[in-house]
Amino acid sequence: MEALRDAKVANNCILEGDCHDHLMHFPDGYFSACITDPPYNYEFIGRDWDDEEISRRLERIQKSSTLVKNIPYGSGLAGGVRNRNWYSRNRENIVQYQTWCREWADQVYRTLRPGAYILVFNSTRTIAHVQVALEDSGFYARDILVWRRHSGIPKGLNFADKMRKLGDLEEASLWSGWHSCLRNEWEAVCLLQKPLINNYIDTIRLTGVGLLNAEMDGFGFASNIIEGIGRTEEDEIYEHCTVKPLALMRYLVRLVVPQSSTNIVLDPFAGTGTTCVAANEYGVGYVGIEINTRYCQIARRRLDACECGPVQKALF
């Protein structure tokens, strides 16, 4: 699909292509919030992150000894001798990733209303770099949310087990229980905000956004730790390697966007459309952008099947 020529009528749609290219055609202050789950920094910089590349990496990982088989790891930066070149290459990769985040964040910042929130998922290792990139684009950092999910699998080195395999039983006994990392049980979501217009009162009156729906369920003040929301069988059927639960995206949409037909949620890395489905169910507009053709097709089918009718198109 070609980039939009008239973004003023773009609402309730999934756009195929690079988010940076599409967002350039949207006017300033068009969106009410951005909730997105971009590719994590699994060494993808320097390659096209499309369906062919994802399939190539997933096929490669199936034939490896890696325990986690659903993530398209890739360039070999995780292994190797920990010499100066190894750390230098890893640092260069981090810098490239942060620069890439800054590039798309610049356009997201421009197209959000003052006071609007942006929520971005990322790994615990690189969430700080994502936050700094968004701050460099102009956003004001507000919080880091913790989504506590199912218990992760330890992926680091079991030193004692390694020593046993090398025949050094004395060393194995000495280092029993010592590993190179912890089990990962949570994902990070950085919460940032486009600066207010003077204060919350002026901002709310002018843009309609800027507050958090912290008492949405009537069970006390919401925490920055999100628990009790995991993937279901329904979530798993949509063929995405890192699908987020629909219930989680419903929660985040309700947290940052008032229920109004004039509000539009942006997801520049829409995947199979979970954020857009959540927005549609809630009664607000959505625009999803996804570079992967197959994911776009799935997202559109999901949204076509939603019981909620299309919301009113917002014109600014």
- How far apart are alpha carbons 262 and 277 in whole angstroms? 17
How many Cα atoms sit within 13 Å of 24 on the Cβ side?
7
Are 191 and 117 in contact by the 8 Å Cβ rule? The answer is: yes
Across 158-239, where does the E strand assignment appear?
186-193, 225-226
- What is the identity of the amino acid at 41? N
**Token pair for residue 162?**
């390694």
Site of tokens 């919080």: 143
Per residue of the chain (316 residues), what is the pLDDT tens digit?
Answer: 233 334 455 789 999 999 999 999 999 999 999 999 998 876 444 455 555 665 665 566 555 554 444 444 554 555 678 899 888 888 888 899 999 999 999 999 999 999 999 999 998 889 999 999 999 999 999 999 999 987 666 778 899 999 999 999 999 999 999 998 888 888 999 999 999 999 999 999 999 999 999 998 766 789 999 998 876 656 555 555 567 899 999 999 999 999 998 999 999 999 999 999 999 999 999 999 999 898 999 999 999 988 564 443 333 3
Task: Please state, in angstroms and rounded to a whole number, the distance separating the CA atoms of residues 96 and 101.
Answer: 9
Domain extent listing, the chain? 7-150+185-304
pLDDT of residue 211: 97
Angle between helices 246-256 and 274-282 (to 10 degrees): 50
* Spatial CB neighbours of 163, under 8 Å, sequence gap ≥ 6: 169, 171, 172, 175
pLDDT at 11: 87
Res 268: pLDDT: 97
The strand ranges marked E within the chain are: 13-16, 31-36, 112-122, 140-148, 186-193, 225-226, 264-267, 285-290
Q: Which CATH superfamily is domain 7-150+185-304 in?
A: Vaccinia Virus protein VP39 (3.40.50.150)
